[in-house]
């Protein structure tokens, strides 16, 4: 994500690539903009003949014809203005749709390591502030920039057609205006980019405070949190102030120069008329000074919309850099597909050739670290076969949850191999690998939907009876039946209208409905009270039948009936055996079970 598009032209090209398929409409917009500009410029130029041949000569028939032609030209110009504005609004919404669609696909394709290093608020900023700045530019600013350029060119052309000497005087001051705009725009773009970056940081800060609001209040950390936010908010304020300071310099500078330009050209023009040096006299000077007076308008209009585009480019740079973030290493070598047929999982060998999946898991000398400097798992080897329940215990940070993440290929191992039914998991298509296992994590996430759909999430075609059965297995049906709307109860804010224990039970029900050969329970009963835990343990026996089960638990009472227990310490397996065997060793497991802290 850290790549920056410092080249504004490259960013614009990428942005306009999202108009692919709408090129004809863009051409039509361009033609309508040019005509709208022509109507304004030509109307002013016609005043020369209207004054000379109509008003001065007293030819009212000519005056009436000219007025009719001008009216038609202006009417068609107004119609063109309305048409291209509406087309651009529709086109811009389609482009924004494509940008958001690609953003969403990008988020879903990123590895978990990306989310370990970036706050949710920072990522949300792409969908909100960065997209909003792009909307503003696409709706109006790009079209108005072209309109302003056409007006500027047309105005200059009109002045030179009337008198090239006066036009040279006007051009000199206009060149000074253009130089100032160019220099000031560099500063504007720098601070608009900084504004977007600091806003992203603020969003991340707010998101973190909201997620930790209970901890914040429990430890009376409000003042410290406010100070952190205040500092980040001040950074945004400073960047925004400087950005708008430079943008607001444009209008007074341009307007002041235009007044000066108007005064000089008017005085010189009168001198020319007095000395017979201006063909057409007052009839020529009138449209000329109108051109000079309005020459500031396209430049002023240009700077207003150009500032919007600079803000858009700052957001677009961040979005395009995010698009180029390295994605999850999905199936670059994966060729083995695991399929589900009639609620049974198979390895697909051919169109009509399938091998039943047993759910066997083998770690063979696995080494892993989130970075090369810090190894989390060192030479881990173990196996778990169908019908076995393998438990992992150990101190916090020993590597228990990391083992589970590696099976799902949330992270790639440094060395060694992990096999699922004898197949290296790197050879299995990642989407089918994850579908062929069910996982209940300590942190339960529930969607803003009904309880019914949350339980059905891994298997949306499940019947209501299957959902009820899964709820019974998980021990969730008891509390669901007491809710006013039962399974149709709507959840919100990650299930905030339920208790922690109830949310965990729904997570267990979700795992019970998918029937995979491999079941992973990562602190699955951590948020359940002791009474409910005993009920769940009893009913979970049904769920675990004929499956390979991997369990992580701090409550050692939940792993007593495991086929084998592996004790981890500092990323290594230091003990393995049944509950009774490990107690007899009187080692680390014994110390953990008895609640005694061993001296290192």
Q: Does 352 share its domain with 429?
A: yes
**Which phi and psi angles does 345 have, rounded to 5°?**
-100, 140
Per the listing, tokens 């290192």 go with 600
Of 290, 323, 356, which residue sits at a domain end? Answer: 323
347: domain CATH number is 3.40.50.300
Domain-embedded: residue 401: yes
Query: Could you tell me the two tokens for 29?
Result: 């917009």
Q: Are residues 306 and 348 in the same domain?
A: no
Q: In this structure, is residue 599 part of a structural domain?
A: no
Angle at alpha carbon of residue 48, lines to 44 and 51, rounded to 5°:
115
pLDDT at 163: 85
The pLDDT score that the predictor gives to residue 363 is 94
Q: Is residue 362 part of a domain?
A: yes
pLDDT recorded at residue 13:
84
Q: Which of 341, 145, 179, 187 is nearest to 254 (CA)?
A: 179
- The predicted structure's pLDDT at residue 328: 65
Residue that finishes a domain, picked among 323, 355, 376:
323
**Which structure tokens are listed for 231?**
């500092």
d(CA 440, CA 287): 78
Q: Which residues pair with 456 in a beta bridge?
A: none
Predicted TM-score of the model (pTM): 0.63
Q: What is the CATH number of the domain that holds 143?
A: 1.20.1560.10
Tell whether 383 is covered by a domain: yes
Q: Is residue 474 part of a domain?
A: no
Do 87 and 222 lie in a common domain? yes
Q: Are residues 305 and 255 both part of a single domain?
A: yes
Regions of the chain where pLDDT drops below 70: 1-7, 43-45, 47-58, 211, 214-215, 217-220, 328-333, 524-543, 595-600
Asked if 148 and 263 sit in the same domain, the reply is yes
pLDDT of the residue at 574? 92
Separation of alpha carbons 480 and 452, rounded Å: 10
Who's near 189: CB < 8 A, 6+ residues apart?
8, 310, 313, 314
* Residues whose CB is less than 8 angstroms from the CB of residue 588 and which lie 6 or more positions away in sequence, other chains included: 394, 567, 569, 574, 575, 598
Q: Give tens-digit pLDDT for 456-515.
A: 888 888 889 989 988 888 778 888 998 989 999 998 877 878 887 788 888 888 888 877
Residue 479, domain member (yes or no): no
468 within some domain? no
| Count: domains in the chain | 2
34 shares a domain with 72: yes
Question: What percentage of the chain reaches a pLDDT higher than 90?
Answer: 8
CA–CA distance, 359 with 386 (Å, rounded to integer): 6
Three-state SS string over 332-364 comes to CCCCEEEEEECCEEEEEEECCEEEECCCCEEEE
Instruction: Tell me: do 104 and 46 sit in the same domain.
Output: yes
pLDDT at residue 57, as a whole number: 60
Please tell me the distance from the alpha carbon of residue 109 to that of residue 29, in angstroms, as a whole number: 36
Per-residue model confidence (pLDDT) at position 160: 86
Same domain, 285 and 415: no
Pairwise CA distance, residues 392 & 401, whole Å: 9
DSSP string for 531-587: HHHHHHHHHHHHHHTTSEEEEE-S-GGGGTT-SEEEEEETTEEEEEE-HHHHHHHTS
pLDDT value at residue 362 = 94
- Judgement on whether residues 256 and 346 belong to the same structural domain of the protein: no
Does one domain contain both 104 and 223? Answer: yes
User: Both 131 and 60 in a single domain?
Assistant: yes
Q: Which positions ≥6 away from 75 have C-beta within 8 Å? A: none
Residue 115 belongs to what domain range?
8-323
Helix/strand/coil (H, E, C) string of 479-502? Answer: HHHHCCCHHHCECCCCCCCCCHHH
278 found inside a domain: yes
CA distances from 50 to 22, 47, 67, 122, 270 (A): 42, 5, 8, 61, 20
Say if residue 217 is in the same domain as residue 350.
no
Domain boundary among 323, 353, 370: 323
């Amino acid at each position: 994500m850290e790549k920056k598009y410092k080249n504004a032209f490259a960013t614009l090209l990428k942005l306009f690539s999202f108009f692919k398929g709408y090129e004809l409409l863009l051409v039509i917009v361009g033609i309508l903009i040019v005509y709208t500009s022509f109507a304004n410029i030509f109307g002013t130029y016609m005043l020369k003949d209207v004054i000379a041949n109509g008003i001065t000569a007293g030819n009212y028939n000519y005056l009436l014809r000219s007025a009719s032609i001008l009216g038609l030209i202006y009417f068609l110009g107004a119609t063109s203005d309305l048409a291209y504005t509406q087309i651009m609004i529709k086109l811009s919404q389609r482009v924004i749709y494509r940008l958001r669609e690609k953003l969403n696909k990008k988020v879903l394709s990123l590895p978990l390591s990306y989310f370990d290093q970036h706050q949710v608020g920072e990522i949300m900023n792409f969908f909100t502030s960065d997209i909003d700045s792009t909307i503003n530019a696409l709706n109006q600013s790009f079209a108005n920039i072209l309109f302003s350029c056409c007006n500027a060119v047309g105005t200059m052309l009109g002045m030179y057609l009337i008198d090239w000497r006066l036009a040279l005087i006007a051009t000199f001051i206009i060149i000074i205006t253009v130089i100032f705009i160019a220099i000031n725009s560099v500063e504007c773009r720098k601070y608009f980019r900084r504004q977007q970056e600091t806003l992203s940081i603020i969003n991340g800060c707010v998101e973190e405070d909201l997620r930790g609001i209970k901890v914040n209040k429990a430890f009376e950390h409000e003042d410290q949190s406010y100070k952190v936010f205040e500092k980040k908010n001040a950074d945004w304020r400073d960047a925004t102030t400087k950005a708008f300071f430079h943008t607001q310099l444009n209008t007074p500078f341009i307007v002041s120069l235009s007044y000066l330009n108007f005064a000089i050209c008017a005085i010189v023009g009168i001198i020319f008329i007095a000395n017979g040096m201006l063909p057409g006299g007052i009839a020529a000077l009138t449209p000329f000074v109108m051109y000079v007076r309005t020459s500031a308008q396209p430049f002023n209009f240009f700077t207003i919309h150009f500032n919007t585009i600079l803000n858009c480019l700052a957001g677009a740079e961040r979005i395009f850099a995010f698009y180029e973030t390295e994605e999850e290493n999905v199936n670059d070598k994966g060729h083995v597909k695991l399929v589900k047929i009639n609620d049974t999982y198979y390895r697909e060998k051919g169109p009509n050739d399938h091998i039943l999946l047993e759910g066997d898991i083998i770690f063979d000398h696995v080494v892993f670290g989130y970075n090369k400097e810090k190894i989390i798992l060192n030479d881990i080897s173990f196996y778990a076969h169908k019908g076995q329940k393998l438990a992992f215990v150990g101190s916090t940070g020993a590597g228990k949850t990391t083992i589970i993440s590696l099976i799902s290929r949330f992270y790639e191992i440094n060395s060694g191999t992990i096999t699922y039914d004898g197949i290296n998991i790197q050879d299995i298509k990642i989407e089918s690998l994850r579908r062929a296992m069910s996982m209940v994590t300590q942190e339960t996430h529930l969607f803003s939907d009904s309880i019914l759909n949350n339980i059905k999430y891994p298997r949306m075609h499940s019947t209501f009876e299957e959902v009820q059965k899964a709820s019974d297995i998980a021990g969730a049906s008891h509390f669901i039946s007491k809710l006013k709307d039962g399974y149709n109860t709507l959840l919100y804010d990650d299930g905030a209208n339920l208790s922690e224990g109830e949310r965990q039970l729904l997570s267990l029900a979700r795992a019970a409905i998918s029937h995979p050969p491999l079941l992973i329970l990562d602190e699955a009963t951590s948020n359940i009270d002791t009474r409910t835990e005993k009920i769940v343990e009893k009913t979970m026996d049904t769920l675990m039948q004929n499956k390979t089960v991997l369990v992580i638990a701090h409550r050692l009472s939940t792993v007593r009936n495991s086929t084998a227990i592996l004790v981890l310490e500092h990323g290594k397996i230091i003990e393995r055996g049944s509950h009774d065997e490990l107690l007899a060793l009187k080692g680390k497991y014994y110390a953990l079970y008895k609640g005694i802290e061993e001296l290192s």
